[in-house]
Amino acid sequence: MDVITIGDGMITFDPASKGPLRFVGQFQRKIGGAELNVMLGCARLGLRSGWISRLGKDEFGRHIVNTVRGEGVDVSEVKLEEGYATSLNFKEVQESGAGRTFYYRLPSPTETLTPDTLPEDYIKQAKILHVTGVFPAIQPQNREVILRAMQIAKENGVKVSFDPNIRLRLWSKEEARQTMLTYLPYVDYLLTGREELEILFDSENDGFLREKLGGYSFEQVIMKDGDKGSAVLQNGSWKHVAGFPVAKVVDTVGAGDGFDSGFLYGTLQNWPVERSLQFANAIGAMVVQVSGDNEGLPYLEEVEGFLGQRETIER
């Protein structure tokens, strides 16, 4: 495997109309999950990607696993658990366009994955383990699972990529900070946003944040900056790589996951980091133009077309 992850998967219900969720009668069924989105993105780029997960043994669990398998992600470490319901995520879109998320994900089938039942051999054979702050936020016992997975990776020369992905609907800033600070010593590639960095180190002072980051042994620290692009920390300062202008932003959810898949792809090609960031920025810009958490994740040739490296023929 090139990249593997550990994460929850969920059915996402997109409302057919705007306004308070309690008045919405029709929804479109889709799938989502931060870590799962990254693996879908990696698979579409041609990477051998694998997903460690636990879903409910129900119709929704079957739908998710079949879809992910169909996208080319290895699901040999996905188990459907009897007695659990697959996680659900209902989205609300207000008249202003702002959105809210309502999760139904407890008790979580992920509680059947413990540090002792982690598939060690599966982790050991991967080139990169990509994990995020969503899985440990679902329930306290998941925190140890990610820590143990990172330790297995480190002990076996597997690179660790980490996206804090802080979801304040799932845990408090304090819980997120305390947990993630235990993860950082194991991380090779930190893929974060500025707000997440501020939560992580409890400060808005950029100099202080850069100093804190310098205290770890990261191989790359990447900061995602929305439509402005992204930056890499080099010799104590941020080096920015510009983003791509987008005519119409339709849905920003999943853009960060797409960015992560692009960064991981470039890293596995041994590209200079600036090239990986340009590629990842392009994917972020492509994802925001499509509705859905993962529908906009492009195939490799589509990114090349977007970057003008390949002729795009439409008809």
Contacts with ligand KDG, residue ranges (CB under 6 A): 32-34, 37, 89, 101, 134, 167, 253-254, 257, 293
- For the CB of residue 140, give the shortest distance to ligand KDG in the complex, in Å: 16
When the beta carbons of 138 and 197 are compared against ligand KDG, the nearer one is 138
The H or E element that residue 45 is part of is helix 34-45
**CA end-to-end distance (rounded Å), the chain:** 36
Q: Is 257 a catalytic residue?
A: yes
Indicate which residue of 2, 188, 225, 257 is catalytic: 257
- For the CB of residue 101, give the shortest distance to ligand KDG in the complex, in Å: 6
Q: Is 47 helix (H, G, I), strand (E, B) or coil?
A: coil
When the beta carbons of 188 and 257 are compared against ligand KDG, the nearer one is 257
When the beta carbons of 29 and 310 are compared against ligand KDG, the nearer one is 29
Strand order in the sheet with 229-234: 78-81, 49-56, 3-6, 128-132, 159-163, 189-193, 220-224, 229-234, 237-242
**Separation of alpha carbons 61 and 57, rounded Å:** 6
DSSP structure class, residue 293:
S
- For the CB of residue 169, give the shortest distance to ligand KDG in the complex, in Å: 8
**Separation of alpha carbons 105 and 264, rounded Å:** 28
Point out the residue whose Cβ comes nearest to ligand KDG: 32
When the beta carbons of 100 and 310 are compared against ligand KDG, the nearer one is 100
- For the CB of residue 219, give the shortest distance to ligand KDG in the complex, in Å: 23
What amino acid positions are annotated as catalytic residues?
257
